[in-house]
Amino acid sequence: MNHSRTVVSGNQMMKTHFSAQNAPFLIPIVALPLALFSSMIQAEQRNPYQIAISGEAFATGALGGEDEMLVGMEFKYFFLPTTPFHPFLAAGYKTDIDKEGSAVDIVYADVGSQWDFAEFWGNRAFLEASIGGAYINEEIAVSLLDREANNSYSEFDFKASLGLGVEWQKAFGTTLVVNQYGSNDLTGGLSFSYSF
């Protein structure tokens, strides 16, 4: 009585097992472009730090009556620098440029995200949105006949921001921005940034 034994290697068993499966052809067609796209995104490393200077004009609100222009500086730290969505923390200071009659100072902190939606010639276009809180201090000076009366108002309020911008050659940026301070004050302006 002849007993013949066939030795099958592990590789042959795996080949037989996988070739016997009727895997849909659609999965590799979809997975390959996604893998290539994600690897392209991973290759695009952006700088995590950013400083910016900005100028804003009041569109509406009580502060805009006297203080028509704000200038300021902002610092951002970006998380997940290798994905198309870049969450960030931001902090900044803004003040009005015309101190006659009243003076406004704003200190704020935001949390938000940038989204890269296009790239052209090595430059990236992005949308950003953030929300946070702001400490607003306004000092008003009123000239009377014999003296000058000074009043000061301070409050904590919410702040929200929307922006559309372009980062040039992974370093310099230009952003059109709209900011809201509290429920009344709305500004629009332009910021220039440097990432490092």
Domain count, the chain: 2
On whether both 51 and 17 belong to a single domain, the answer is no
Whole domain around residue 15: which residue ranges? 10-39
On whether both 14 and 83 belong to a single domain, the answer is no
Average pLDDT over residues 44-49: 79
Mind listing the pLDDT tens digit for each residue in 67-95? 578 999 999 999 876 777 889 999 999 99
Among residues 127, 130, 136, 122, the alpha carbon closest in space to that of 170 is found at: 122
> Is residue 69 a part of any domain in this protein?
yes
pTM attached to this predicted model: 0.70
On whether both 155 and 59 belong to a single domain, the answer is yes
On whether both 34 and 110 belong to a single domain, the answer is no
On whether both 15 and 98 belong to a single domain, the answer is no
Average pLDDT over residues 31-35: 49
Mind listing the pLDDT tens digit for each residue in 137-177? 988 777 667 776 778 888 999 999 999 999 998 889 999 99
Q: Is the pLDDT of residue 56 over 90?
A: yes
On whether both 173 and 191 belong to a single domain, the answer is yes
pLDDT of residue 120: 86
> d(Cα 41, Cα 139) in Å, to the nearest integer?
48
Strand pairing class (172-181; 185-195): antiparallel
On whether both 144 and 67 belong to a single domain, the answer is yes
On whether both 106 and 161 belong to a single domain, the answer is yes
3-state secondary structure of 103: strand
Q: What b-and-e string marks burial along 73-97, b requiring 16 or more CB atoms within 10 Å of the CB?
A: ebebebeeeeeeebebebebebbbe
On whether both 81 and 142 belong to a single domain, the answer is yes
